[in-house]
Amino acid sequence: MPGAASSPSVGAESNPFLQMQARFAKAADLLGLDQGFQRILARPAHELTVAIPVQMDDGSLRVFTGYRVQHSIARGPAKGGIRFAPDVHLDEVRALAAWMTWKCAVVNVPFGGGKGGVICDPRRLSQGELERLTRRYAANLLEIIGPERDVPAPDMNTNEQVMAWFMDTYSMHRRMTQTAIVTGKPIGLGGSQGRRIATGLGVALATREALTYVGHQGPARIVVQGSGNVGGLGALLLHDRFGHKVVAISDIYGGIHNEKGLDMPQVLDWLAEKRSLEGFPDADRVSNEELLELPCDVLVPAATENQITSQNAARIQARVIVEGANGPTSAEADRILEEKGVFVVPDILANAGGVTVSYFEWVQDRMGYFWEEEDVCERLERIMVKAFRDVVEAAERYATSPRIGAYCVAVDRVAYCLRLRGIYA
């Protein structure tokens, strides 16, 4: 595959960029996509690596490494989050950027795909160090970002505050307030109503559509890996608004399980107070590995990449998997799950609620006119339902899995724009 850039320390099954390329190649072949366009879309259009010097609280100077990758701007400005984590690597950011291209195309919002990452452990940084790191990273990206060029957002370990610092740094350089430079901002600074719950709501809506599609009736038993923005709020909505039973949920340290169902508001209150699920009453402790293999109707991996692999896919008991996280399932695991008849709602559809409401936020910032939460949620629901239908229709038309169906929808939409625009020589 052209453009493949394996990271020397990571095997093929755990390299998210190679995993993305495997799925892309399958869809491109089914679509009969021209080899030249395949070469363009198999790799990012633009990558920037930056050194980020930060004055630490103890007076020392540290230099962090940051990335921003723009996979494609064929359909509009690059769009995608910024991740702060100690194990961020370039192939991960490349994969995440490409998934953003496909995700925006699946829900048909006029963005391309980008992603950023900084190698750091935010738990070991003071608030001041985190702010200086964010501002210098933003300043280092000035030449390639902008409301019409590349619009970042939060991802793992970045939040509204980080977005506010990012927006302020960009605005200071431009000598004007430009709220549309990032999404996921605080409401009072140009953020959108409904953005905080958007990805979780999208996951819950995708779960509803998938359960209907497979003919499941009544409340479902749901297992959720991860209890952050996506997993925690997704589980809360699945419990509160959709009437399902969340029987297990986890954080990075492990999970809690109660076959009779967990009281989700209580779980989230506990987590907010104790910062860990450990010790939660009326539940058994399970490891993250055990949690994935629990009996349930729906499994929602909503933590991180590469959780369902050739090593454990055969033991998954869920009938439906709704991928809240990006890249939680390897291409090898896809094959095993397909043979078992598990219905997988792929990440580029299941977690697209976040970028959809990010698009609404960008639109509202540019209009200077803000919508009620009800409007945001209604518009999100319409888009998620339409995207789900487009994906299952494509899967049926090409006699393939919903994942490859989703890639077919996305790649076709991006290739259409490339064809119309032509290749500038």
> Which residues participate in catalysis according to the annotation?
115
Query: Chain-centre distance of CA 213, in angstroms?
Result: 23
CA distance 356 to 149: 18
CA distance 373 to 387: 21
Rounded to the nearest whole angstrom, what is the least distance from the CB of residue 144 to ligand NAD in the complex? Answer: 21
Is the Cβ of residue 56 or residue 189 nearer to ligand NAD in the bound state? 189
- Say if residues 248 and 286 touch (Cβ distance below 8 Å): yes
Rounded to the nearest whole angstrom, what is the least distance from the CB of residue 24 to ligand NAD in the complex? Answer: 18
Residue with tokens 């505050």: 161
Give the interface with ligand NAD as residue ranges (CB under 6 A): 155-157, 199, 226-231, 250-252, 288, 302-304, 324-326, 351, 354
Dump the DSSP string for 143-154.
TT-BTTTEEEEE
- Say if residues 398 and 379 touch (Cβ distance below 8 Å): no
Rounded to the nearest whole angstrom, what is the least distance from the CB of residue 323 to ligand NAD in the complex? Answer: 9
Is the Cβ of residue 76 or residue 80 nearer to ligand NAD in the bound state? 80
CB-based burial, 162-178: b 16+ in 10 Å, e otherwise: bbbbbbbbbeeeeeeeb
Is the Cβ of residue 21 or residue 288 nearer to ligand NAD in the bound state? 288
Which amino acid is located at 358 in the chain?
S
Rounded to the nearest whole angstrom, what is the least distance from the CB of residue 214 to ligand NAD in the complex? Answer: 23
Rounded to the nearest whole angstrom, what is the least distance from the CB of residue 80 to ligand NAD in the complex? Answer: 9
Which amino acid is located at 289 in the chain?
E
Is the Cβ of residue 76 or residue 231 nearer to ligand NAD in the bound state? 231
206: CB partners within 8 A, 6+ apart: 322, 345, 349, 350, 384, 388
Is the Cβ of residue 30 or residue 384 nearer to ligand NAD in the bound state? 384
